[in-house]
Amino acid sequence: MIRGVFSIYHTVINMEEILLNIESKERRYAYLKNGVLDDLIVERNKSRQLTGNVYKGKVINILHNIQSAFIDIAESENGFIHISDILENTKKFECMFDMDFDTGGDLKKKRSSKSTQDIDQLLNIDQSVLVQVVKEPIGSKGARLTSNISIAGRYLVLLPNTPHRGVSRKIEDRPTRDRLKRLIRSFEMPQDIGLICRTASRHATTDLLINEATDLLNSWHSIMDRFQKASDHQLLFEESDLIKRAVVTAVERKIDRLLIDDYQTYKTCKSIYSKYSEEHPLKIEYYRDSVPVFERFGVEREIERSLQRKIWLQSGGYLFVDRTEAMWTIDVNSGRGAKVNVDVEEVIVRINLEASDEIARQLRLRNIGGLIICDFIDMRSRKNRRRVLERLKECMKEDSAKCTILKMSDLGLIEMTRQRNRESLTQTMLTECPYCRGSGLIKTNESVSIEIERAIKRSISISKHYGIRLVTHPELDRYLSNFDKEYLSSMTESMNAKLEFAVDDAIHLNEFQMYSTINDQKLEL
Ligand SMILES: [Zn+2]
């Protein structure tokens, strides 16, 4: 249905675009391929990405047994650093401490004994440290930190703590590798600062590379400067900003258009893009229509869909996406019964193939990470099973998160893992239902009615209450009127008591209250 509408666009417009929707508490990034939402990032103020950010942190707790420390980085959760992320460049790390004003303790003494070092020889409580987030905080787990700072540009990565100068392995062409290596080694910057050429550097001109190296070095200097001036722990450098990422992705993927609904952000995008404009002609437009941009492009509807458990497929099948404690499961179902005179296996294969496309897309939109089990509809032919597996692998190739897909089992299950890089969409947007406490289930009216019967009996025979007012949710009251009120009343009468009924729509459907009609006091159940 929804896809059907878009499939008209599909043939008419063959384009890729990125939409940015900026609100005061939320920033959303949507990547559309031929009009269909293909990737989505929802960033709330509290859940914005931290990876790449550099902080002046403060050591607040040292854990001997696991050789780690908790660092206050002025975010909602403390960060976490392991000794291996400090030791790798002990020397530089200590150098930074020397530049710090209030480290307490004399660090110079501790330089010699690297092999036997213990975390509390390196860190003291309250000490200020320069750290960078390498892994997003997830749930109650704090951000993983390192002291090996790296500052990434579009073409280069600056490594202020490592003297290494190299070229990404993805650039395989010998002459290009040699040219780039020579070039970055000749850059006029301190020899103990490292540089890596990223894949995109292969087409960049020498001037572009020099400009970027200078930018990165300036960023590093300003980080050091802010570190020294900061009186307390705080954010020094924000790297993985959604807006910057949108522009860089647009250039990298050669996207046709970037559409932004906020004027300030639009100008920021223009200025970021000006550095890369030689590489790809990107249209950057300010969206000012009265219909909100995500509504205009059908993204809002797709987000709604990605929060639901059931997803319909065009072929008539549907998916169930469920989360358990340990994994996610995606169940492929055939839906409407197959028509007579139709090759059943052929129908099933068609549903499974479409499911593969949709699963890959839903994993991206929902940003599902960790272990995932997909349960496809059984197929008789081995060849067809392979086709479905191949399709799934093909669709997952475009994913920027790292994925591993195992082979299909005889029962049609595919196990896979997807890198967890930030919260899932449901984690960002939803909270546990207080009504069913996350189980998705509540008691039936019949179950509650049986509890009520027991409670009334107890109240009369044990607590000797002879006038009772029962208060329930209107819906449960309706059920009782239809089925049980008569019985409950006569039962009460036979015990020489009187029962009244009342409703309160603030009450939980599964709960009920009893009051004494004599003194209006609430009765213990
Ligand atoms: Zn619920």
Distance set, CA 449 to CA 229, 444, 472, 484 (Å): 68, 9, 10, 8
Query: Between the CA atoms of 266, 243, 225 and 209, what dihedral angle is there, to the nearest 10 degrees?
Result: -90
Structural contact between residues 356 and 391, judged by C-beta atoms closer than 8 angstroms: yes
Residue 2 has pLDDT above 70, yes or no: no
User: Cα(431) to centroid of ligand 1, in Å?
Assistant: 10
Structural contact between residues 183 and 207, judged by C-beta atoms closer than 8 angstroms: no
Q: Counting runs of H as helices and runs of E as strands, what totals does the chain give?
A: 16, 24
Q: Which amino acid is at 92?
A: K
Which residues contact residue 486 at a Cβ distance below 8 angstroms, ignoring those fewer than 6 apart? Answer: none
User: Cα(438) to centroid of ligand 1, in Å?
Assistant: 6
The torsion angles phi and psi of 50, rounded to 5 degrees, stand at -110, -20
Residue 511 has pLDDT above 50, yes or no: yes
User: Cα(332) to centroid of ligand 1, in Å?
Assistant: 24
Q: Give the other-Cβ count within 10 Å of 262's Cβ.
A: 18
- When comparing pLDDT for 502 and 74, which is higher? 502
User: Cα(305) to centroid of ligand 1, in Å?
Assistant: 18
User: Cα(228) to centroid of ligand 1, in Å?
Assistant: 51
Q: Which helix (H) or strand (E) holds 426?
A: helix 425-429
User: Cα(442) to centroid of ligand 1, in Å?
Assistant: 7
Q: Which amino acid is at 287?
A: Y
Residue 94 has pLDDT above 80, yes or no: no
Q: How confident is the model at residue 65 (pLDDT cuts 50, 70, 90)?
A: confident
DSSP assignments along 60-76, one per residue: EEEETTTTEEEEE-SSS
Q: How confident is the model at residue 422 (pLDDT cuts 50, 70, 90)?
A: confident
pLDDT of residue 240: 57
> Which of 104-108, 237-241, 350-354 is predicted most confidently?
350-354
Class of domain 445-516: alpha beta
Residue 177 has pLDDT above 50, yes or no: yes
Does domain 54-235 match CATH 2.40.50.140?
Answer: yes
Does domain 2-48+240-300 match CATH 3.30.420.140?
Answer: yes
Structural contact between residues 369 and 424, judged by C-beta atoms closer than 8 angstroms: yes
User: Cα(433) to centroid of ligand 1, in Å?
Assistant: 4
pLDDT of residue 103: 27
User: Cα(509) to centroid of ligand 1, in Å?
Assistant: 11
User: Cα(311) to centroid of ligand 1, in Å?
Assistant: 19
Six-digit token string for 22:
């900026």
- In this predicted structure, which of 86-100, 184-198, 361-375 has the lowest mean pLDDT? 86-100
User: Cα(440) to centroid of ligand 1, in Å?
Assistant: 5
> CA nearest 235: which of 73, 65, 35?
73
DSSP assignments along 164-195, one per residue: -EEE-TT---HHHHHHHHHHHHHSSS-TTSEE
Q: How confident is the model at residue 46 (pLDDT cuts 50, 70, 90)?
A: low
User: Cα(441) to centroid of ligand 1, in Å?
Assistant: 6
DSSP assignments along 367-385, one per residue: T--EEEEEEPPP-S-HHHH
Structural contact between residues 128 and 57, judged by C-beta atoms closer than 8 angstroms: yes
Q: How confident is the model at residue 338 (pLDDT cuts 50, 70, 90)?
A: low
Six-digit token string for 520:
């209006």
User: Cα(45) to centroid of ligand 1, in Å?
Assistant: 26
Residue 5 has pLDDT above 90, yes or no: no
- When comparing pLDDT for 368 and 153, which is higher? 368
> CA nearest 78: which of 101, 109, 55?
55
Mean pLDDT for the stretch of residues 249-273: 94
User: Cα(23) to centroid of ligand 1, in Å?
Assistant: 29
Mean pLDDT for the stretch of residues 26-33: 94
User: Cα(508) to centroid of ligand 1, in Å?
Assistant: 11
User: Cα(331) to centroid of ligand 1, in Å?
Assistant: 21
Please write down the long-range contacts of 346-349, taking CB distance under 8 Å and 24 or more positions apart.
347/315, 348/377, 348/378, 348/379, 349/379, 349/384, 349/387, 349/388
User: Cα(436) to centroid of ligand 1, in Å?
Assistant: 4
pLDDT of residue 340: 59
Domain residue limits, the chain = 2-48+240-300, 54-235, 308-429, 445-516
